[in-house]
Structure 1
Amino acid sequence: MKKQIVTLTAIAALSVGAATSASASSYTVQSGDTLWGISQDKNVSIESLKGWNNLSSDLILPSQELKVDGQATSEKKADSSTYTVKSGDTLAEIASAHGIPLDSLMSWNGISGYMIYPGETLTVKGGTAAAEKAPAKTAAAPAKEKAPAPKTASAPAQKAPAAASAQSGKTMTVSATAYTAYCAGCSGTTATGIDLRSNPNQKVIAVDPSVIPLGSKVWVEGYGEAIAGDTGGAIKGNKIDVFIPTQGAALEFGRKNVTIKVLN
């Protein structure tokens, strides 16, 4: 009888341990929670939380069940070596969701800019970046013969430099303001997939793509050389928004007229 009691106690302890382990991989959103707060509590990045839970914004709701451990997600994705781009996806989010560096994702798929299109098939699993470059280019070749070039992985990389070259060397005066990655409602990720919160020293400007093509390198008076990597609802015509890491410095920047030059 005594042996039976000990056995039942051990089973109960194991059951409790298993339940604790299972619950550690998920979290139920409470009233007042934010993605940033959950990421700090669980010691994971905001982009990882969004990738594991297929979130396209920072909006979360009470009682929502979130995955906070990417191990199970990584195991599920391990047997898939490709990913089909969906509307709203960015390269940074795809790389984070599959646990690979952004530069490796771009290298494996022969992408030199940050533009991707819904319907593209991207390689998200492989060996070294050098080993994966050749298959990526081989896969793009048949697509060129088929005509729907915008659906191939290599098409955006070819189009962006062409658009940028049309403006290369152009100098103009623009109205400049500043913004940060931590404003209300901001995700911290630009329209071209640059994670500004993880790269606070990156020099990026928001532009009107009809004036300055996305992906261009632009010299900005008083700011230096930057990437035209973002857009904004109020950025129309000869206006730019320069990224500055801190809110105080962004407010001090104010609004001013500056000279810019499109480098490529």
Structure 2
Amino acid sequence: MKKSVLALTAAATLTTGFAGEAYAESYRVKAGDTLWSIANNHSTTVDQVKAWNNLSSNIIYPNQDLEISEGSRKAAVNHTNTYEIKAGDTLWSISQKFGVSVSDLKAWNGLSSDLIYAGRSLNINGSGSAQAQVKASTHVVQKTSNPAPASQEKPAAAVKEVSVTATAYTAYCTGCSGVTATGVDLRSNPNQKVIAVDPNVIPLGSEVYVEGYGHAIAADTGGAIKGNRIDVFIPTKDQAFDWGVKEVKVQILN
């Protein structure tokens, strides 16, 4: 996501794609529709809708008829029960791949947030036990002089440990979308523990333990986050300023 001086400068985009045999149907555009909302409601992608309708832009008009294909995603769900999460995956991208909704994925896996971790298994069609196979970060940031207290949990054995310079950012800086590079909506989920990283140092999707911050997910990037630097997400500007600039250790847990 884009960040100002406080948040540093960054830009993030999330794209997904899925190709396969499908079955066409027609959809009439309504006032307020966007290609994204139509694609999401029909378990496909914006690029696919544009390709099926020979669209060169994202502009659509009320009462315009669009060809929609959704059979491939719905059929794909029937061939597998679980999916192993990979670095960079989000619930939204997985839902698009398998033709299901984010809310269903959360319900089937007992998730209370949108955070997922690389290497974990995700139930993608509701079969079997609806247990929480993927952990979500549920730490609550307290409004104190220490805005992001370290988790009292003992971190799991680290795969790798790196020393970094850590700054802080919020979801409401000028020009910020509030959505991370991997699709986490920080405005809707202000208590998520998320850090922005250089993927060459800490892979996106990694579960981490940040000294002084706690367990988090590497779910964002930033134009100024290069090498051994991270940005920790903190809900409010005052708390982010209180964090300042710190030298901390990051344990990469998967």
TM-score (structure 1 length as normaliser): 0.45
TM-score (norm 2): 0.47
Instruction: Specify which structure has the bigger relative contact order, considering alpha-carbon pairs within 8 angstroms and separated by 6 or more residues.
Output: 2
Higher radius of gyration, 1 or 2: 1
**Structure richer in helix, relative to its length:** 1
